[in-house]
Amino acid sequence: MTERAKFLIEKLCSEHSLELSEYKELILARDDEVAALLAERAREVRQRHYGTGVYVRGLIEISNICKNDCLYCGIRRGNSEAERYRLTKEEILECCDEGYSLGFRTFVLQGGEDPYYTDDVLCEILFEIKGRYPECAVTLSLGERSHDSYSRLFTAGADRYLLRHETACPVHYARLHPTDMSYDGRMRCLRDLKDIGYQVGCGFMVGSPYQTEDELAKDLKFIEEFSPNMCGIGPFIPHKKSVFAEHAAGSVELTCYLLSIIRLILPTVLLPATTALGTLAGDGRERGILSGANVVMPNLSPHSVRTKYELYNNKLHSGSESAEALAELESRLSKIGYHIEYSRGDQKDFFRKEGI
Ligand code: 5AD
């Protein structure tokens, strides 16, 4: 390992910040030895704040109907072969009931941008979930909405919101999205969510088309500056009916490397080992956790719809990706020295920082 790589890692550990050009250098310096050192440092930091617990979130995929046509996504509007579905309020509540009895204390309602879910519809669902399970956190991941809509959902009880920024480079953003979507609009949403008081998650795909070290360095700088509470990153995986069907998948190693860097930038960030990581490698989730991740999001959707929420080819939804298989998850975690942590798992210090 070069002295320079060592220096960059030590600087990252002590200052939680690098220059844009230094992020790029660190990405380019990747080899097994550098990756191992970064992962070791990331695990130390993660264990200082979160011990060896891994938070679990029950993921409910409420709809694969989407008005957007993102070029990389399997449930894009233009995919006429996708079998569309949406869950009713009752079905969503059944998933929460099931999840609660399995031990979940965070429910993530994720879906395409489906106009059926108006503020009124969502507020009713939120009131009901929070009424039944006041001690649980609800995370929404429903795309771009107005400031007013985000406010109403927050008032109705939503605690957290996941909205990946997808790329922190406007030119790259434009190459991944149709012209009716904008980088500025995305950033406006993320700022609104933060201003309203949500715990906010951003994130991006690793190895998306046209992405180079320059884009990744910008993603890291953006994450440093925006300082999200959560950050979802996973490898890009092509979907057979998307524009990028023939594009290669992202790398598990690079994803893990970036997870370690993000852990060192934001020591207490909630960092999932994503389903995409588990889909590309049988031990992907474990490798994510050993790189500094501290969250997994097993699938709590009704079985009848699990194969339909197909963002990319062969998306995992069974085995320890499924909410019922927590015992399998626990045994896999215990083999690497970790365990499931069932509390609702807010970011350490979030409430103190916010003065709540
Ligand atoms: N590969 C990996 N991740 C994808 N997503 C969408 N399509 C793909 C794909 N082909 C991610 C996006 C989105 C999240 C819900 O899933 O980053 O924000």
**Model confidence pLDDT, tens digit, residues 128-145:** 999 999 999 999 999 999
CA-141 nearest atom, ligand 1: 15
Residue linked to tokens 């490898």 = 235
- pLDDT score recorded for residue 149: 98
Q: How far is the CA of 132 from the centre of ligand 1 (A)?
A: 31
Percent of the chain with pLDDT over 90: 93
Q: What is the mean pLDDT of residues 92-113?
A: 97
Higher-pLDDT residue of 324 and 345 is: 345
Q: Whose CA is nearest to atom 7 of ligand 1?
A: 73
pLDDT band at residue 353, thresholds of 50, 70 and 90? low
Inter-axis angle of helices 20-28 and 3-15, nearest 10 = 130
73, 176, 240, best to mutate for ligand 1 pocket (most atoms within 8 Å of CB):
73
59, 205, 237, best to mutate for ligand 1 pocket (most atoms within 8 Å of CB):
205
- pLDDT score recorded for residue 273: 98
Tokens standing for 318? Answer: 């069974």
Lowest mean pLDDT among 52-66, 205-219, 312-326, 331-345: 312-326
Tokens standing for 283? Answer: 């031990």
Query: Does the beta carbon of 163 lie inside 6 Å of ligand 1?
Result: no
Its CATH class, for the domain covering 3-353, is alpha beta
Query: Does the beta carbon of 73 lie inside 6 Å of ligand 1?
Result: yes
- pLDDT score recorded for residue 163: 98
Is the pTM value of this prediction over 0.85? yes
Query: Does the beta carbon of 164 lie inside 6 Å of ligand 1?
Result: yes
CA-244 nearest atom, ligand 1: 10
pLDDT band at residue 73, thresholds of 50, 70 and 90? very high
CA-73 nearest atom, ligand 1: 7
Query: Does the beta carbon of 312 lie inside 6 Å of ligand 1?
Result: yes
- pLDDT score recorded for residue 316: 85
**Gap between the Cα atoms of 87 and 114, Å rounded:** 11
Per residue in 206-235, is it b (16+ CB within 10 Å) or e — as a string?
A: bbbbebeeebbbbbbbbbbebebbbbbbbb
Query: Does the beta carbon of 317 lie inside 6 Å of ligand 1?
Result: no
pLDDT band at residue 168, thresholds of 50, 70 and 90? very high
| Domain residue extents for the chain | 3-353
pLDDT in tens, 199-209: 999 999 999 99
CA-249 nearest atom, ligand 1: 1
Lowest mean pLDDT among 19-28, 179-188, 347-356: 347-356
Q: How far is the CA of 71 from the centre of ligand 1 (A)?
A: 10
On whether the CB atoms of residues 340 and 183 are closer than 8 A, the answer is no
Q: What is the mean pLDDT of residues 253-272?
A: 98
Q: How far is the CA of 356 from the centre of ligand 1 (A)?
A: 33
**Gap between the Cα atoms of 21 and 13, Å rounded:** 17
- pLDDT score recorded for residue 356: 56
pLDDT band at residue 298, thresholds of 50, 70 and 90? very high
71, 164, 311, 317, best to mutate for ligand 1 pocket (most atoms within 8 Å of CB):
311
Listed in sequence order, the residues at least 6 apart from 15 whose beta carbon sits closer than 8 Å to its beta carbon are none
Q: What is the mean pLDDT of residues 5-33?
A: 98
- pLDDT score recorded for residue 352: 73
SS3 75: coil
